[in-house]
Amino acid sequence: MRFKLSLLKEPKHILSCVGWTTADELFSCSEDHQILKWNLLTNETAVVVKLQDDIYPIDLHWFPKTVGGKKQATAESFVLTSTDGKFHLISKTGRIEKSVEAHRGAVLAGRWNYDGTALITAGEDGQIKIWSKSGMLRSTLAQQGTPVYSVAWGPDSDRILYTFGRQLIIKPLQPSSKVLQWKAHDGIILKVDWNSMNDLILSGGEDCKYKVWDSYGRLLYSSSSNDYPVTSVAWAPDGEVFAVGSFNTLRLCDKTGWSYALEKPNTGSVFSLAWSADGTQLAGACGNGHVIFAHIVEQRWEWRNFEITLTKRRTMQVRNVSNDAVDILEFRDRVIKASLAHGHLVVATSLQCSLYSTKNWNTPLIFDLKEGTVSLILQAERYFLLVDGGGIYVYSYEGRLVSTPKFAGMRTDILNAQSVSLSNDTIAVRDKTDEKVVYLFDAQTGKAIGDGKPFSHKLEVMEIALDQCGPSSDRKIALIDKNHDLYLTSVRRLGREHSVHKIVSGALFKTSLNWITKNLSSVIIFILFTVSNLPVLLTCSEFSRTPHILNYVGAQVSVRRADGSLVYSSVSPYPALLHEYSGSARWEDALRLCRFAKDQTLWACLAGMAMANRELTTAEVAYAAIQEVDKVQYINFIKDLPSKESSLAHTLLFSGHVQEAEATLLQAGLVYQAIQIHINLYNWGQVRHSLSLELAVKHKTHVDTVLAHRQKFLQVFSKKETNKRFLQYSEGVEVDWEKIQAKIEMELAKERERAANSSVRSSVASRR
């Protein structure tokens, strides 16, 4: 990935600031009091307005496009700060709507918040002031002895970040809240930026370094010392990359800090940088009077044997690595986003969306987009998902709109790959207003899953991921919360969470298996889930600090290390094969595979899979292989059970689903067996016991059986009856062991008889 630069020929006077209106229109202000408009489509430059001679502009910021959920087509006005201590609200046509005396000395920065309700200005006099939309002073937020060179809003517009000499300060708007202040650079800090998508802070200063911080002020990246002071920094709107400007220097960096590309244009110092809203273009105001334009090219996507490069703004090159065939894809407009996975390439340009199949690069499926800027594309096997300013859209690969999930207060402009996840049947979206909440939708209908209530975690959720294969009833979601703990829960049965591992920084489900990849600070662990939800540790590989998982296709994981290098790691292919066999019920082959591989974990996985599929013979062999004698014995017991229902119930019991086992038995009318389950579980305490009693009372049978067992239990442990309900029932019931034995015999006989009947019936049915 790198910048392609272009400089328009005519140098103007010393430029101070730039700002985009649409993707192709830029406004710039210069020291000669002119505001210029640059049209990139026609390469034309026009003077919008000539300001009064005493206005020397310093900073320019467009009023945000999205206001209160409604999206305007273009920005209508902007704020311009000047050296005479005023800021000016200027309309798009260049008319000065209002000039406000704001500071003593120059106003060095002016920024609208994200919803356009407040404006913040910072001045040479060290004051920071908040203004209403119409330019009325609301409050003076801070006052200090040194000029404030740069200021930025926090993602929720409830905090601001500003410079104080060599320090950075985060100040919440609420007066009582705690102020965060830390020393950030060894020289005066000249520019800061705070991205709303990834909540990361960027700073650049006179010590010639640029640094990336998280919103708690922890250093994530510090560049080596460059040759010249860093005069400007800017996040791309999607938060994936950022740009750094300095004397004769323009740098494109990944959000983790390492640099993709360095350009040395002959521009003088780059004073101000601005990204267009779609994040494909960058403009900079240069010290020698040029406006430098840059757009990102040579982005790469890889999937299996295909390698796609964006060679020009509208051209992609597809290379099939296995046979070196090269295809060129041309688009009508600039490519904004693209995604390659599951055998399909999805390309979003400013007006259209093109779908290519990897089997055929010649005939794309093209449909028009409702709104221009697609900010996110996610792909699953059957569907893909587009996010733009207006909403979330799920499409099938035939180009048909499948659903548009919605919830109250949804803000699509800040959704990113960490806060949305898509699988074949489910969509998960993390709420922005309450980050503990995850909304789950059915992908086909777009309706909320279950009773419509979103899933709520106890801490703020940082990242979510849905698993990608298996039946929809087994759909799982992985959450990483603020403490970097990974949790797993089933989508259809919310509430039962498993804390899986601590200190995790990223999770990704594999595309074709029920696997999750996750990384500790230095290790990557692959976990295979047996269906009983017990994670099994499979492989560990060492990586350097803070790795970032890129993708996980086949048996290969690609990981980006902190320094930006790609590292690949292959996973043992056995589990994948095993999963395939179990999926197609080829248990003989699965056993052969396990015998061949001679791996304990593999046997354990097989045991879990077999048990989940009620394949008792296979499970028995697998458990025997990992020397779980008790389990083998229990399986043998299950095999000997007379009726189908009770063996099913015991299999469920084996997996720990007591409730389901009981329900199965009661449904089949096997009341005694249900009670027996509870009696057998009596080691787990009083609660179970009383439960079994209640069951007996409810069904009017076996009260004496339960009481007899209870008495026996109490005798063994030489305790006295304390449970009131047992006392109450034992009054009217005579315990006679012989009678009870006879009754049990009768029940068992009844069951055997029924089982025989039903097997005859089922064989008759199958013959029909």
Partner 1 sequence: MAKDPLAEAGLHFDELNKLRILEPDVGQKTTELKEECKEFVDKIGQFQKIVGGLIEMVDELAKEAEKEKMKAIGARNLLKSVAKQREAQQQQLQALIAEKKMQLERYRIEYDALSKVEAEQNEFIDQFILHK
Query: Which of residues 563 and 745 has its CB atom nearest to partner 1 in the complex?
Result: 563
User: CB of 563: closest distance to partner 1 in angstroms?
Assistant: 7
Instruction: Tell the burial category of 68 from Cβ atoms under 10 Å away from its Cβ (0-12, 13-18, 19+).
Output: exposed
User: CB of 598: closest distance to partner 1 in angstroms?
Assistant: 10
Q: Which two tokens stand for residue 179?
A: 């102020």
φ and ψ of 440, to 5 deg: -120, 130
Q: Quickly list DSSP for 350-384.
A: SSEEEEEETTEEEEEEEEE-SSS-EEEEEE-SSEE
Q: Which two tokens stand for residue 767?
A: 């013959």
User: CB of 259: closest distance to partner 1 in angstroms?
Assistant: 7
Query: Which of residues 592 and 739 has its CB atom nearest to partner 1 in the complex?
Result: 592
DSSP3 helix / strand / coil % (the chain, rounded to 5): 20, 40, 35
Task: Check if the beta carbon of residue 314 is closer than 8 Å to that of residue 330.
Answer: yes
Q: Which residues pair with 131 in a beta bridge?
A: 119, 137
Query: How remote is the C-alpha of 81 from its chain's centroid?
Result: 38
Query: Which of residues 266 and 633 has its CB atom nearest to partner 1 in the complex?
Result: 266
CB atoms under 10 Å from CB of 719, counted, come to 9
Q: Using CB under 8 A as the criterion, which residues of the chain lie in contact with partner 1 when the complex forms? A: 226-227, 248-249, 258-259, 261-262, 264, 556, 561, 563-570, 573, 596
User: CB of 572: closest distance to partner 1 in angstroms?
Assistant: 8
**What is the spatial distance between Cα 233 and Cα 257, in angstroms, rounded to a whole number?**
12
Query: Which of residues 228 and 737 has its CB atom nearest to partner 1 in the complex?
Result: 228
Provide CB contacts within 8 A for 18, sequence distance 6+: 26, 27, 28, 29, 60, 272, 273, 274, 283, 284, 285, 291
**What is the spatial distance between Cα 488 and Cα 501, in angstroms, rounded to a whole number?**
10
Provide the 8-state DSSP code for 649.
Answer: H
Look at the block and give the residue holding tokens 């908040």.
130
User: CB of 264: closest distance to partner 1 in angstroms?
Assistant: 5
What number of CA atoms fall less than 13 Å from residue 136's CA on the CB side? 4
> What's at 303, amino acid-wise?
W
Query: Which of residues 121 and 267 has its CB atom nearest to partner 1 in the complex?
Result: 267
Query: Which of residues 89 and 559 has its CB atom nearest to partner 1 in the complex?
Result: 559
Angle at 602 between CA 598 and CA 604, to 5 degrees: 115
Query: Which of residues 195 and 248 has its CB atom nearest to partner 1 in the complex?
Result: 248
User: CB of 542: closest distance to partner 1 in angstroms?
Assistant: 12
Query: Which of residues 396 and 541 has its CB atom nearest to partner 1 in the complex?
Result: 541
> What's at 308, amino acid-wise?
I
End-to-end alpha carbon distance in the chain:
65
User: CB of 262: closest distance to partner 1 in angstroms?
Assistant: 4
Q: Which two tokens stand for residue 248?
A: 């004769």
User: CB of 566: closest distance to partner 1 in angstroms?
Assistant: 5
Query: Which of residues 80 and 208 has its CB atom nearest to partner 1 in the complex?
Result: 208
Q: Which residues pair with 568 in a beta bridge?
A: 558
User: CB of 229: closest distance to partner 1 in angstroms?
Assistant: 15
Q: Is 739 helix (H, G, I), strand (E, B) or coil?
A: helix
**What is the spatial distance between Cα 230 and Cα 225, in angstroms, rounded to a whole number?**
10
User: CB of 479: closest distance to partner 1 in angstroms?
Assistant: 29
User: CB of 596: closest distance to partner 1 in angstroms?
Assistant: 6
φ and ψ of 645, to 5 deg: -65, -45
Query: Which of residues 490 and 558 has its CB atom nearest to partner 1 in the complex?
Result: 558
φ and ψ of 730, to 5 deg: -65, -20
Query: Which of residues 517 and 692 has its CB atom nearest to partner 1 in the complex?
Result: 517
Query: Which of residues 181 and 266 has its CB atom nearest to partner 1 in the complex?
Result: 266
Q: Which residues pair with 211 in a beta bridge?
A: 203, 222
> What's at 744, amino acid-wise?
I
User: CB of 577: closest distance to partner 1 in angstroms?
Assistant: 11
